Structure 1
């Protein structure tokens, strides 16, 4: 019986996939059987993955938790057949360097520590001010959202819809929040289903997340673009009162004075609202919220009475 090596290739078009399979097969002699496996195969020996999908939660679990030997496939004609760290450059060429890599992996030669460095980045802090705005950038199309705990949701940014991972019990995240481009199969799997509103879902996920840093400085004036839709159990009245102030145009200090809520609470609102595109920056001259040095309790009651009537609270 022939010995066997199981290899999975993920994220390539069919014609490129078949070309690579033929060339990889030629790297091994007849004494070794090459089996082309699915990435879910528990006995996987080697993973080749399109670099575009490398940061997805599924792939990170394979190379991070399960330590499957892998190569990230990157298109670069001038480096074709070269391996640098954990990257193999396409078009695929059966160079001596490539032959040695596949031989070493089958013989269980330890992978150089440098090739594992990227895997550890999945648990590092991301800059949410750079990540979250990409959820509103239409050029991204369909994206898969994940963090260090796994897959969160699939987004269609052009239609502003989101399909939540039903197996994920807690709808919150942390500073490892990230995204990757979704495969065509992922997009097709939800094409006939109605998704949730992306902005409302994102607002609530960030609002629920206790491990995020909302200590940014917000000295500017802002005006409300869209009313957030907080979960009823999650400080709904407070969110609506703060939003009502920003509907008139205000800064953080004015809203603290108007509502009596702490600067930390208002700052959390502003931080999330800016990330979710719910607030827009305005000149100070456009801010219409009226705040007096000593505002009577009767005036405050009148203000919030009108607000409750308006919002049906």
Structure 2
């Protein structure tokens, strides 16, 4: 039975990633099975990460708290194939130095104490709401967005466009959603391509991301700021019905009574909508949704009783 080493490569373009995988694979003999993992893998053996993403809380948790052996990937043609401390210089060349590093990690040789481990800050829980608000801040310009599964794509907050990573069919995300500022070269690579509408993409990604949904008070009143555009037909009817109620100003309790749609669905709408600035909180006095209350049986009896007395029936 082959022995296994689990390696995650994070933050590289698809072409560079595949090229690097092939070269890393050739460094190991046939008795070792390489399992290409993502950074959420609890049994990760080696992490190779684009230096631009090194300071993100998710990466810091892996290298600082979990002590996963890692190398920071930095482009430098002059130093290609070299390792300096915790830095591996690209383009990737399988030099003797690199082969030794990977072999030592496979044999679980501890990292030399002379290696400088640059820990920018310890991991902390990301406030995904704050991250999403930065996506809606036009001053940020070009951003590269990613989560624990790798690069998601590029975003321009001024033109409100998103370009998904080529070859990936990304439908959802998780609480590790984050960003870094994109380089000029990255921005130029999509300058002639029409991107997705940022708000359209944001709504649909959050709607499908169950892990980021948060409970909110069902008695708070909200008003619709703009209409979401659901990408799947199966959700469209409920989403548009809920949105129509919030357009007049309403609470979740009112909408549940009016539409007979389950509270979890309404809660999911509100959570995604608050993240994406689809809703804003309002005072109860501003709400205009009218709920027609059906008269109770006792009220009807009382009404007809008074009517009989008045008519002396």
Equivalent position to 1:115, from 117, 120, 136: 117
Unaligned runs of 5+ in 1: 1-37, 72-85, 87-104, 297-313
Alignment match, 1:215: 215
Mapped partners of 1:295, 1:175: distance in 2: 46
Mapped partners of 1:295, 1:181: distance in 2: 59
Q: Does 1:68 align with 2:54?
A: no
Aligned residues: 223
Mapped partners of 2:164, 2:295: distance in 1: 45
Mapped partners of 1:253, 1:282: distance in 2: 15
Mapped partners of 2:241, 2:192: distance in 1: 37
Matches within 5 A, 1:147-296: 147-217=147-217, 219-294=219-294
Q: Using the TM superposition, give the Cα deviation of residue 171 of structure 1 relative to its aligned residue in structure 2, in angstroms.
A: 1.4
Distance 1:150 1:56, change over 3 A: farther
Q: What SS does structure 1 have at the residue aligned with 2:210?
A: coil
Over the aligned positions, Cα root-mean-square deviation in angstroms equals 4.2
Alignment match, 1:145: 145
Distance 1:116 1:149, change over 3 A: farther
TM normalised by structure 2 equals: 0.59
Please give the per-residue CA displacement for 1:175-204, whole angstroms capped at 9, x wherever unaligned. Answer: 111111111111110011111100011111
Unaligned runs of 5+ in 2: 1-15, 25-47, 75-85, 87-100, 297-313
Distance 1:193 1:216, change over 3 A: same
Distance 1:56 1:216, change over 3 A: same
Q: Using the TM superposition, give the Cα deviation of residue 283 of structure 1 relative to its aligned residue in structure 2, in angstroms.
A: 2.0
Please give the per-residue CA displacement for 1:65-97, whole angstroms capped at 9, x wherever unaligned. Answer: 8721689xxxxxxxxxxxxxx9xxxxxxxxxxx
Q: What SS does structure 1 have at the residue aligned with 2:117?
A: helix
Q: What SS does structure 2 have at the residue aligned with 1:211?
A: helix
Please give the per-residue CA displacement for 1:205-257, whole angstroms capped at 9, x wherever unaligned. Answer: 11112322322335421111111000133411000000000011111111111
Mapped partners of 1:114, 1:216: distance in 2: 44
Contact kept, 8 Å, 2:213 with 2:271, in 1: the verdict is: no
Distance 1:226 1:48, change over 3 A: closer
Mapped partners of 2:164, 2:251: distance in 1: 34
Contact kept, 8 Å, 1:137 with 1:157, in 2: the verdict is: yes
Runs of 4+ more than 6 Å apart: 38-41, 47-50, 62-66, 116-120
Distance 1:250 1:114, change over 3 A: farther
Q: Using the TM superposition, give the Cα deviation of residue 154 of structure 1 relative to its aligned residue in structure 2, in angstroms.
A: 0.8
Contact kept, 8 Å, 1:55 with 1:179, in 2: the verdict is: no
Q: What SS does structure 2 have at the residue aligned with 1:215?
A: coil
Q: What SS does structure 2 have at the residue aligned with 1:190?
A: coil
Distance 1:268 1:116, change over 3 A: farther
Alignment match, 1:19: none
Contact kept, 8 Å, 1:56 with 1:144, in 2: the verdict is: no
